[in-house]
A and B are shown apart, each in its own frame.
Chain A
Amino acid sequence: MGMQGFLDIFDIYLLEAVINGILLGGVLALLALGLNLIFGVIDVTWICYAELVMIGMYAMYFIVQVYGLSYFVAAPFTILLVAVLGAALHYLVIAPLLTAPPINQLLATGGVLFVLQSFATVAFGIDFRNLGIRLPVLAFGDMNFSYARLLSFLAALVGMVAVYLFMTRTFTGTAIRAISQDRQIMALMGVDTRRIYLITSALGGALAGLAACLLVLQYDVHPFVGLSFGPITFLICVLGGLGNFIGGFIAAFVFAEIISLGGLFSDLEWGYVLAFAFFIVMMFIRPAGLLARRR
């Protein structure tokens, strides 16, 4: 094989990695959207967000593998379950702390992270489990793409569009956006902030549930699976500007490309390390976030 042949193959691998990065970016953007929504409206960071996804992945595993229902029946149940969990998290942990220093709220969700992880360990053990669904690999020219990734990407896009429509076309969505702009004044306008907070938390939970349905197609579930994509989600949100939906969306794809291209040359873990290094460099260049438009 000559030099030209080598370059051709290299280019195809590169293109494959770039496209895989875009596909990965969809799910990361979905995760970032949920976290940004909670932060933008309630001014709270759920550091147990990835653990909610983990619980959703277990729900999918049990409904599909143990109870033998179809994937498409299991998905709505899982989304609903995690939405309820999100609302419960707000009602039980965040609501009593709304007037406390913000750092206390954040640390309390750290306690919830412990609870969810160890609950999963106690209840399900530390074995790796998967759905047992093997989706075909899509061949496109010389490139191979996992069908699961493509499906996840499309579903994540649909989920994000649905949230966008909900936020812009419904009264509740408009109230949520209004509250994210001014927390005090909306209560005077007759909007029940407590109700809006609960709905937002449920919506954030539902997005985590959707992410769970998609991630479980690609990854095995175990009690600590949240740790493998939680930190990267936080970096995305900080780089995009916490609460900034569009910034988070762009940052998700930037990070996904770094992880995917970094993984091309070595293990996936090194892709994460590269992403973190990139993040530190970006903090020097654009400290106020990618779009530099903090609230």
Chain B
Amino acid sequence: MMGQGRVAAWGIGLAALIALPFVYREPYHLHILVLILIWSFAYTSWSMMGRFGLVSLGHGGFMGIGAYVTALLWNHLGLSPWIGIPISMAAAGALALIVGYPCFRFRITGHYFVLVTLALSGIVLQVITATRDYTGGSLGYTPNRTSGNKLLALQFDDKTTWYLIALGVWLFGIVIWHWVDRSMARYALEAISEDEDAAAAAGVDVTAEKLKITLLSALMTALAGALYCQYQMFITPDTVSGIAVSLQMVFAAIVGGLFVSLGPTFGAIITILLAETLRIGFGTKAVGWDNLVYGVLLVLFIIFLPKGILGSLLDRLKPQRKVPRAHEQEAVQAARPGT
């Protein structure tokens, strides 16, 4: 259970976050905050699976489906995002089940699982590019501006509204993270990530447990994609889908720390601030530089700090907190080569 102090800290922090846009209205900074919140939600969604050793590089695909299906339904059928977003989430969920079921049923794990999911995000990108008559291909796609009810179209001009929406969704993600953290599913999934056969022998339904967390993760990621699209009002296959977006999720979650609830959020803050700093620093020459720095940092982090910044900091602060679980111990050992 959470201690009194932690509840108070969360309460004060949340109150401050909600109050922020009413006292501070600088549009550029609010824009960065909205982006951080939306991507934090996406990274948290990825880490729901990633923390149990289910490393998926297919999440770029789920995010792309969330963004494009919502926008396409709005533009072509005039379907409000309030209906379009659940449909897009269902589509991403269905795809997750179609790919996930054979993977889990037939014990496709480790390298195999990563490569299959990697191909999935590559294929979603190909489909979006191939259906260029509808999606605009690699040139990108813009949802039509509404002339009617803004709430119905989920299009708002002011940053404060978007900030509050993004904050709500982000908080929802953190709550789900904690809900899973305290559920029986967590113990089952941890057992599976240590030894699938032993877990199955102990009565864990391996396929069902993995499918549940994959479905949850895919649904949340699609929601993140749809929100990103509604906020930015412009999407391209490269910014919401594909291998690069999947790797970006992995990178942020690892930099922040996979095994703590605020790790992915921390990762989003670091990566987005880094990208913005590089963009301002390099100006128009920035194309590519941010990803170059990302890539180098990702390699360095995996070699030297696989538990992430926040995870390592928490460990340092509370050295005798608890005995690390076996898969974390492995990561700790990897962090100190030579021991």
Contact = CB atoms under 8 A, between A and B. Distances in A.
Interface of A: 39, 45, 47, 93, 96-97, 99-104, 106-108, 110-122, 126, 223, 227, 230-232, 234-235, 237-238, 242, 267, 269-270, 272-273, 276, 279-280, 283-284, 287-288
B250 interface: yes
Contact of A273 (B112, B116, B123, B254): B123
Contacts of A242: 111-112, 115
A215 to B, nearest CB: 17
B191 interface: no
Contacts of A108: 298-299, 302-303
B327 interface: yes
B128 to A, nearest CB: 9
B28 to A, nearest CB: 25
A219 to B, nearest CB: 15
Chain A to chain B: the 9 pairs with minimum beta-carbon distance, closest first: A114-B295, A231-B122, A287-B106, A121-B288, A111-B298, A269-B130, A115-B295, A118-B291, A100-B334
Nearest to A97: B303
Contacts of B337: 96, 99
Contacts, number: 167
Contacts of B239: none
Given A238-B116, A269-B129, A280-B102, A122 B287 contact: yes
16 contacts: A99-B334, A100-B306, A103-B110, A107-B302, A108-B299, A110-B298, A119-B288, A120-B288, A231-B118, A238-B116, A267-B130, A272-B123, A273-B127, A284-B106, A287-B102, A287-B106
B102 A115 contact: no
B125 A227 contact: yes
For chain B, what secondary structure do more than half of its interface residues adopt (helix, strand, loop), or is it mixed?
helix
Contacts of B250: 107, 110
B55 A103 contact: yes
A106 B330 CA distance: 16
A21 B107 CA distance: 31
B119 interface: yes
Given A97-B334, A283-B102, A284-B102, A112 B288 contact: no
A190 to B, nearest CB: 24
Interface of B: 53, 55, 57, 98-99, 102-103, 105-108, 110-112, 114-116, 118-120, 122-123, 125-127, 129-130, 242-244, 247, 250-251, 254, 287-292, 294-299, 302-303, 306, 327, 330-331, 333-334, 337
B123 A121 contact: no
B298 A107 contact: yes
Contact of B119 (A116, A117, A120, A279): A279
A276 B298 contact: no
Contact of B299 (A93, A101, A122, A272): A93
B250 to A, nearest CB: 6
B207 to A, nearest CB: 12
Contacts of A96: 303, 337
A103 B98 CA distance: 23
A103 B113 CA distance: 10
B303 A283 contact: no
Nearest to B248: A114
Contacts of A101: 327, 330-331, 334
A223 B126 CA distance: 16
A114 B298 contact: yes
